Amino acid sequence: MILNAFLKSAGHSSSEELYDLIKRDDPSIGQATIYRTMKLLVDAGLARSVDFGDGIVRYEQKLGHEHHDHLICEQCGIHVEVVDSVIEELQEDLAKRHGFRLYRHKMVLYGLCAECSSE
Amino acid sequence: MILNAFLKSAGHSSSEELYDLIKRDDPSIGQATIYRTMKLLVDAGLARSVDFGDGIVRYEQKLGHEHHDHLICEQCGIHVEVVDSVIEELQEDLAKRHGFRLYRHKMVLYGLCAECSSE
DNA sequence: ATAGAAAATGATAGTCATTATCAATCGATT
DNA sequence: AATCGATTGATAATGACTATCATTTTCTAT
């Protein structure tokens, strides 16, 4: 049921948001179960957690959903998924230059989207 | 007093860490004051807050301390400040390509440092 | 089927970093 | 010195999340 709600939800949902959704179908569900299940989905490789820096863990689908970074508008909150393969390579190089073996990275770009810029 | 402790502290200190330091000189100080003051220092342009993704806000000096990103060893926790001007440019391009005006970004690379790799 | 073990659930209390509140103190200005 | 606003420290509150624990629910072996 939780998996279903998660898969149906487009974008990046928090456990809290999913809880509100699922409660509509089954008011008896507890939020601890949502938190637990989302962690399980991450372990199972179905979900990936993302950190936008606001203290809330959001989840996005992982299946057929390649790695990407995020571009967020600080005004309206809209977010775009982006990837730049050159940046990815340079990150590898950068880490290697410092003797690090790179496991993963987090990159979030904050700015103003076209809409909000023109206002 | 807080500013002093912050300036003396090398690297990235949390309010909590600064509190422990300052308490030694003045046990009467309250931690709320540290939290408040660190925010003031950020507003005043003396400090910059950094988010390593562990739920703790750390502060670094801003004066004469250019923008940079972070490379963190997931084993021993050591962190290195890095900059790659090409990456920075590409981030600008990337944002522009999506119609965004870029204000700032956050990039944290997680991996294993040379030390920890060789163990 | 069925008893007994193991896992999952919901309710709720607890964490932990941070923030709000509020009375007391400090400080500048008259 | 009196006044009024800003700052402080102590403490309660917040909010996202986690731990606990008694109670189902779900296996699994018989």
Chain A partners within 8 Å of B87 (Cβ)? 87, 90-91, 94
AA letter at A63: L
CB contacts < 8 A (A, B) = 113
Q: Which has the higher per-residue pLDDT, B118 or A33?
A: A33
Reported confidence tier of residue B70, pLDDT bands at 50, 70, 90: very high
CATH topology of domain A69-117: Dna Ligase; domain 1 (3.30.1490)
Of residues B64, B80, B74, B58, the one with CA closest to residue B9: B58
Among 3.90.1300.10, 1.10.10.10, 3.40.640.10, 2.30.30.40, name the CATH number for the domain at A2-61. 1.10.10.10
Which residues in window 76-115 of B are less than 7 A from strand C by Cβ? none
Res. B3: pLDDT tops 90: yes
Question: Exposed e or buried b for every residue in B79-114, given b needs 16+ CB within 10 A?
Answer: bbbbebeebbeebbebbeebbbebeebbbbbbbbbe
Reported confidence tier of residue A53, pLDDT bands at 50, 70, 90: confident
What tokens were used for A73?
């508008």
What tokens were used for A76?
């309206």
Q: Residue B10: what pLDDT?
A: 79
B78-112 pLDDT, tens digit per residue, is: 889 999 999 999 999 999 999 999 999 999 999 99
Spatial contact of B62 and B46, defined as CB atoms under 8 Å apart: yes
- Percentage of chain A surpassing pLDDT 70? 100
Which residues in window 9-68 of A are less than 7 A from strand C by Cβ? 26, 28-33, 36-37
- Going from N- to C-terminal start, the domains of chain B cover 2-61, 69-117
Q: Residue A77: what pLDDT?
A: 85
Query: What average pLDDT score do residues A7-26 get?
Result: 93
B13-67 pLDDT, tens digit per residue, is: 999 999 999 999 999 999 999 999 999 999 999 999 999 889 999 999 998 888 8
Cα–Cα separations (whole angstroms), residue B9 to A14, B21, B22, B111? 36, 9, 11, 25
